[in-house]
Amino acid sequence: VMLAVTAVQVVCAVGAVYFGSRASMGVGRDLRSDLFHHVTGFSAEETARFGAPSLLTRTTNDVQQIQLLVQLTCTMLVTAPIMC
């Protein structure tokens, strides 16, 4: 019985990581697309005010942080009830 419960936990954990990763990649893809279209609508003076390197760094880091949040949330929502 203990081995069966452990096997179910492993399968659920692997599934949670897989689907959490897929969800976070989808969110990141959509967010990058939206940000790209938003930033390309900036005027030349807005781009100069923020600076292209700053916009690129902010976009990359912010999207990565949101992806990490989505992945960890999805993983924890599935694995936390199983661990108890």
User: For the segment 27-43, what is each residue's pLDDT rounded down to a tens digit?
Assistant: 999 999 999 999 999 99
Q: 78, 15 in Cβ contact below 8 A?
A: yes
- Per-residue pLDDT at 69: 96
- Per-residue pLDDT at 65: 97
Residue 5: which H helix or E strand, with range? helix 2-40
- Per-residue pLDDT at 61: 95
- Per-residue pLDDT at 28: 96
